[in-house]
């Protein structure tokens, strides 16, 4: 099966033709979003589900690419339309060398934090079709800007937070992009896969994201463009039947994660913020936990009569995306300190930070399940009115009554939510165990099991109380 997929990817029109198709879809979704401007909160509550762009982007596209990344790697990047846009502008652009700060990875973390604070908290891009469209346009705008200034594919490797998040989740993937035989690469004279001559081709191109296929040991950076597969096959200085060497292969579930590669500082901050983001994503699904989520921020905001959306959003965002996760991350470390000799705080954050990833991924899968199933009733009316404006009004006026999902579906959803989070906690326990064994520390490392216990409980207890009691 994987052989066939690798062969299909090597066809001249693949995967590039899929990118053009997704570009068309991308444009349609943006247009439908732009056509549905509203700032009325009550109206937006329906419009976000009746507008084609908003519904597809947040309830289906986003959940699907997350789940695909967790099981199969960065499959979305293979067909992402933004990649061809930025590659085109890199081809005609200034091709400047990338500065150190860009190569450090901090640009992605800062961009992601900006999206959370300005996009999600300020403009509610996940709930407002118009601002969702502006967000998609902004991503394209940044990709054009970065592509026009810097050499190679700088946007996909060093700026795009979507790809970065998918790269993080692809540590769990069954599949990976590797070479079949490293010896073939060792004796290869042309090194077509990384040759400058092919760097700015739009299809048969050498690697634009600074990878050398023979050295790829994890899934996080490769955008599965298949460029190296094609150059390796087509530009051989001496015919070699063992080429093309790069291919999609089975590496085993969570193989990358169990290799225990520590996070870099910028990556760690990114993971910490995502760990807070998924709490808000899951807790906002149930009215009880949703109220609790707003409790502390409201406590701070009310005495100052702070009604400004942006300041309020910033304070709320800081608490949910930074302070709460930071406290959760610190608990196991502080207890390990109380128990005995332990590692330094920086080492803890970078090494043990990866133990949060399976639970974050599990929570994200849960959110995907909830989003995609709860929006099924809206589909019936979606294509009668793709902007969703009149459908939303009819729902509010009770001219349209939405069907409820059947009981069995809700039961299956509850089962899946619980199972997925339990698996996430189990994987996290295994990661802590492996790191502890590697660290060789005795008593104090036991407290690091609090990572799956404390962080996992935040989701598991909520799901049990909400779906089963
Ligand atoms: S991937 Fe192909 S082109 Fe690149 S070094 Fe290996 S054999 Fe050569
Ligand atoms: S390693 Fe190959 S498939 Fe991966 S990004 Fe580079 S050229 Fe594309």
Predicted pLDDT of residue 304: 61
- Dmax over CA atoms of the chain, in Å, equals 75
Whether 444 has a pLDDT exceeding 70, the answer reads no
Around 73, how many Cα atoms within 13 Å sit in the side-chain half-sphere?
23
The pTM score is: 0.93
More confident residue, 136 or 317: 136
Residue 246 in contact with ligand 2 by CB distance below 6 A: yes
Per DSSP, the three-state class of 179 is strand
Distance between CA atoms of 40 and 432, rounded to whole angstroms?
Answer: 47
**179: β partners:** 246
Q: Measured from the CA of 244, which atom of ligand 1 is nearest? A: 2
Question: 195, 211, 213: which to mutate for ligand 1, most atoms within 8 A of CB?
Answer: 213
Q: Which ligand is nearest to the CA of 207?
A: 2
Q: Which ligand is nearest to the CA of 170?
A: 2
pLDDT band at 445 (very low <50, low <70, confident <90, very high): confident
Please give the distance, rounded to the nearest whole angstrom, from the Cα atom of residue 206 to the centre of ligand 2: 8
| 302-315 mean pLDDT | 68
Distance between CA atoms of 288 and 283, rounded to whole angstroms?
Answer: 8
pLDDT band at 341 (very low <50, low <70, confident <90, very high): low
**250: β partners:** 175
φ, ψ of residue 14 to 5 degrees: the values are -110, 150
Predicted pLDDT of residue 443: 58
Whether 292 has a pLDDT exceeding 90, the answer reads no
Q: Which ligand is nearest to the CA of 240?
A: 1
φ, ψ of residue 195 to 5 degrees: the values are -75, 135
Per DSSP, the three-state class of 32 is helix
| 6-18 mean pLDDT | 88
Residue 157 in contact with ligand 1 by CB distance below 6 A: no
pLDDT band at 316 (very low <50, low <70, confident <90, very high): confident
Predicted pLDDT of residue 327: 96
Please give the distance, rounded to the nearest whole angstrom, from the Cα atom of residue 188 to the centre of ligand 1: 6
Distance between CA atoms of 174 and 320, rounded to whole angstroms?
Answer: 32
Predicted pLDDT of residue 363: 98
| 232-260 mean pLDDT | 93
Q: How far, CA to CA in Å, does 51 sit from each of 38, 68, 81?
A: 12, 24, 21
Containing 312, the helix (H) or strand (E) segment is helix 309-318
What sign for the dihedral angle of Cα 263, 264, 265, 268? negative
Q: Are 198 and 205 in contact (CB under 8 A)?
A: yes
* pLDDT tens by residue, 385-403: 999 999 999 999 999 999 8
Q: Which of 75-79, 109-113, 369-373, 437-441 has the lowest mean pLDDT?
A: 437-441
pLDDT, the chain, mean: 92
* pLDDT tens by residue, 96-107: 999 999 999 999
Residue 223 in contact with ligand 2 by CB distance below 6 A: yes
Whether 280 has a pLDDT exceeding 90, the answer reads yes
Q: Are 50 and 378 in contact (CB under 8 A)?
A: yes
Tokens of 295: 């409790």
Nearest CA to ligand 2 atom 2: 228
Q: Which of 47-51, 188-192, 304-308 has the lowest mean pLDDT?
A: 304-308
Whether 164 has a pLDDT exceeding 90, the answer reads yes
Cα angle value 63/60/413 (rounded, 5°): 65
Tokens of 229: 């597969």
Predicted pLDDT of residue 442: 63
Predicted pLDDT of residue 342: 72
Q: Which ligand is nearest to the CA of 83?
A: 2
Q: Which of 113-117, 341-345, 369-373, 378-382 has the lowest mean pLDDT?
A: 341-345
Rounded (10°) angle between helices 345-352 and 407-439: 130
Q: Residues of the chain with pLDDT > 90: what percent?
A: 80
φ, ψ of residue 175 to 5 degrees: the values are -110, 155
What are the DSSP calls for 148-166, one per residue? HHBSSSHIIIII-HHHHHH
Please give the distance, rounded to the nearest whole angstrom, from the Cα atom of residue 120 to the centre of ligand 1: 43
Predicted pLDDT of residue 8: 87
pLDDT band at 270 (very low <50, low <70, confident <90, very high): very high
Question: 5, 213, 244: which to mutate for ligand 2, most atoms within 8 A of CB?
Answer: 213
Residue with tokens 């520590």: 262
* Beta-carbon count within 10 A of 24 CB: 10
Whether 412 has a pLDDT exceeding 80, the answer reads yes
């Amino acid at each position: 099966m994987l052989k066939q997929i690798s062969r299909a990817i090597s066809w001249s029109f693949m995967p590039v033709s899929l990118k053009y198709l997704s570009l068309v879809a991308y444009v349609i979704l943006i247009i439908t979003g732009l056509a549905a401007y509203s700032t009325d909160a009550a109206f937006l509550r329906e419009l976000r589900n009746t507008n084609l762009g908003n519904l597809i982007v947040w309830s289906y596209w986003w959940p699907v690419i997350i789940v695909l990344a967790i099981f199969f790697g960065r499959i979305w990047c293979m067909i992402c339309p933004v990649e061809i846009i930025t590659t085109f502008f890199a081809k005609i652009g200034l091709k400047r060398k990338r500065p150190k700060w860009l190569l450090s990875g901090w640009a992605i973390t800062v961009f992601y934090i900006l999206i959370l604070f300005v996009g999600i908290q300020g403009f509610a891009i996940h709930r407002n079709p118009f601002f969702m469209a502006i967000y998609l346009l902004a991503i394209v705008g940044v990709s054009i800007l970065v592509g026009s200034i810097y050499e190679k594919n700088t946007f996909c490797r060093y700026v795009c937070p979507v790809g970065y998040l998918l790269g993080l989740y692809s540590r769990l993937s069954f599949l990976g992009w590797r070479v079949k035989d490293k010896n073939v690469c060792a004796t290869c004279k042309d090194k077509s896969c990384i040759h400058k001559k092919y760097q700015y081709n739009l299809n048969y191109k050498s690697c634009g994201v600074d990878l050398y296929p023979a050295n790829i040991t994890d899934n996080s950076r490769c955008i599965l463009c298949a460029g190296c597969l094609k150059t390796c096959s087509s530009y051989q200085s001496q015919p070699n039947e063992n080429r093309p060497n790069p291919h999609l292969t089975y590496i085993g579930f969570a193989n990358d994660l169990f290799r225990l590669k520590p996070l870099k500082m910028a990556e760690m901050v990114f993971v910490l913020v995502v760990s807070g983001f998924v709490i808000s994503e899951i807790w906002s699904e149930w009215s009880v936990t949703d109220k609790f989520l707003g409790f502390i921020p409201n406590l701070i905001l009310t005495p100052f009569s702070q009604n400004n959306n942006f300041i309020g959003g910033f304070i709320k965002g800081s608490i949910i995306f930074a302070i709460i996760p930071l406290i959760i991350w610190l608990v196991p470390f502080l207890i390990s300190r109380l128990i005995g000799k332990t590692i330094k705080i920086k080492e803890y954050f970078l090494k043990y930070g990866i133990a949060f990833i399976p639970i974050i991924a599990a929570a994200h899968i849960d959110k995907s399940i909830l989003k995609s199933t709860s929006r099924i009733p809206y589909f019936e009316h979606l294509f009668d009115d793709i902007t969703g404006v009149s459908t939303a009004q009819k729902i509010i006026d009770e001219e349209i009554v939405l069907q409820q999902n059947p009981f069995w579906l809700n039961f299956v959803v509850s089962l899946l939510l619980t199972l997925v989070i339990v698996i996430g906690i189990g994987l996290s326990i295994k990661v802590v165990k492996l790191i502890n064994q590697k660290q060789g520390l005795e008593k104090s490392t036991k407290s690091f099991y609090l990572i799956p216990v404390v962080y996992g409980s935040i989701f598991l207890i909520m799901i049990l109380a909400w779906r089963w009691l």
